[in-house]
Amino acid sequence: MKYMKMAAIALMALALFSCNNKNNEPKNEVAQLSIRINDAQLRAMMDPAETDAQTLITDNVVLTLDNGEQITLNADEIAQAKGTDGYKKPVTEVVKTVSLVANGKIEKTTDITTLQGKDIATEIALTAPATAVSTTVKDGMTTYEVELSPVPAVARLEVAGKIVGQENKTTHKQAFKDITVEHVYVNNYLSTIIGTRHMCVTNGKDGFAATPVLQKQMNDKIEAGDKEAFEKIEKVAGYYLFPKKDDETASAPDYFDHVILKIKITYTDEALVADPTLAQKTDRYVTIARFMKSATGDLDATGFLAGTIYKLDLGELSKDFKTGDDGKPDPENPDTPDPEPTANKQLVVKVKPYTWTAQNIKPDVNNGYKK
């Protein structure tokens, strides 16, 4: 009897404990992460042959949650993420932010030379920073939803066009028969996204020095067969560039990225008569160290922004190749015997940027050319 009473008490205690535990246990809610990727605004360069091309997310899509978890999407999941409903994935923890990399990843050691020649429509690395999710609860389902708008990790600079020497407005004398761009170089660029700037020329004397090494991926010879298309901007010398580092500030004479033009000047007979030494001054350089969009200094704070194509129409330089009253080239013209001259006189070049469409740029007459 004693044992039966003890067993009954034990059963009652167990039942009471079971009831209390059922009321106090945490709810096992169902949760999901819903992600939509919007790449509709990633426009490709203004190549006349493919004016409607886009930089699209194609592969190597990795999502990173705020807890460090990474999710790699396959082709079907990428397609879902770019659809109206987005990509949905069950999750077991609270999600606060989601970031993205796609089409490859820019590492701290990635050299800018390895990115040249990449297909802008499919091969340019894209990133979206950590973006806060919105949270909704419906029918017991918690959904963490976020829309990511990735942008390219690099800027693009395109150079093309025709420089035309100007006659003197008073005497109407003309010193220039023709100005041909033979070679385009990019200088003073960031080799890596956190590294130092690469200067192919540091002394501005005797052409390009043997060191530092002149990187073949960062310059283009304008072959005779491409000359007409280059001058009509049907073909461009194009380069991907890392944006300036956060701690960099624009300062004369170097600012940020440079464009160096090797030009061949053909002078008029009248100019050669006025100055016979011009016959030895046909091979010249123009070094552009500072650019602007519409007003002097409007690119100094930002430099070339990632996700933007900057188009430098060399026709913008024409106004700076002047003829003096005496029929000789104006000594203030931007051409020099060597690239990257050491003096501080410059001309700013105006560019027109687009957000993955195009922005023209050109020299600014205020300290843009190194002279």
Beta partners for residue 284, in sequence order: 263
Q: Which domain holds residue 113?
A: 29-152
Query: Are the CB atoms for 355 and 41 separated by under 8 Å?
Result: yes
**Does 161 share its domain with 299?**
yes
Least confident segment among 19-33, 122-136, 156-170, 209-223: 19-33
What is each CA distance from 347 to 160, 171, 214, 365, 371, in whole angstroms? 18, 25, 24, 4, 8
Q: What is the mean pLDDT of residues 81-99?
A: 87
Q: Determine what percent of the chain is predicted with pLDDT higher than 70.
A: 77
**Does 120 share its domain with 269?**
no
Of the pLDDT bands very low, low, confident and very high (cuts 50, 70, 90), residue 342 is confident
Q: Tell me, what's the pLDDT at 7?
A: 45
**Does 117 share its domain with 265?**
no
Per the prediction, the chain carries an average pLDDT of: 81
What is each CA distance from 163 to 178, 290, 319, 322, in whole angstroms? 8, 18, 9, 11
Inform me whether the pLDDT recorded for 340 exceeds 50. Answer: yes
Least confident segment among 111-115, 192-196, 208-212, 226-230: 208-212
Q: Tell me, what's the pLDDT at 29?
A: 57
Q: Tell me, what's the pLDDT at 23?
A: 46
**Does 164 share its domain with 52?**
no
DSSP helix/strand/coil, 226: helix
Domain boundary (128, 152, 176) is at 152
Give CA–CA dist 103/97, Å, rounded: 21
Q: Which residue has the higher pLDDT, 301 or 33?
A: 301
Domain boundary (152, 181, 212) is at 152
Q: Quick check: is 290 in a domain?
A: yes
Q: Quick check: is 75 in a domain?
A: yes
Q: Tell me, what's the pLDDT at 44?
A: 36
What's the pTM value of the predicted model, to 2 decimals? 0.77
Least confident segment among 51-55, 76-80, 196-200, 213-217: 51-55
Inform me whether the pLDDT recorded for 153 exceeds 80. Answer: yes
Q: What is the mean pLDDT of residues 62-85?
A: 87
Q: Quick check: is 296 in a domain?
A: yes
**Does 98 share its domain with 160?**
no
Inform me whether the pLDDT recorded for 367 exceeds 70. Answer: yes
**Does 207 share its domain with 313?**
yes
Query: Are the CB atoms for 305 and 243 separated by under 8 Å?
Result: yes
Least confident segment among 42-46, 130-134, 181-185, 283-287: 42-46
**Does 103 share its domain with 200?**
no
Q: Quick check: is 266 in a domain?
A: yes
Q: Quick check: is 19 in a domain?
A: no
pLDDT in tens, 124-146: 888 888 999 888 888 888 889 88
**Does 118 share its domain with 166?**
no
Q: Quick check: is 18 in a domain?
A: no
Least confident segment among 167-171, 242-246, 352-356: 352-356
Phi, psi of 157 (to 5 degrees): -120, 125
Q: Tell me, what's the pLDDT at 46?
A: 36
Q: Which residues does 183 contact at the CB level (< 8 Å), separation at least 6?
A: 219, 220, 221, 222, 261, 262
Q: Tell me, what's the pLDDT at 200?
A: 75
Domain boundary (152, 167, 183) is at 152
Q: What is the mean pLDDT of residues 227-231?
A: 94
**Does 211 share its domain with 334?**
yes
Q: Quick check: is 13 in a domain?
A: no
Q: Tell me, what's the pLDDT at 39?
A: 57
Number of domains in the chain: 2
pLDDT in tens, 274-288: 999 999 999 999 999
**Does 228 share its domain with 127?**
no
Inform me whether the pLDDT recorded for 49 exceeds 50. Answer: no
Inform me whether the pLDDT recorded for 366 exceeds 70. Answer: yes
Q: What is the dihedral of CA 119, 122, 123, 129, to 10 degrees?
A: 130
**Does 310 share its domain with 165?**
yes
- CATH number for the domain that contains residue 171: 2.60.40
**Does 352 share its domain with 252?**
yes
Q: Quick check: is 277 in a domain?
A: yes
Q: What is the mean pLDDT of residues 22-36?
A: 56
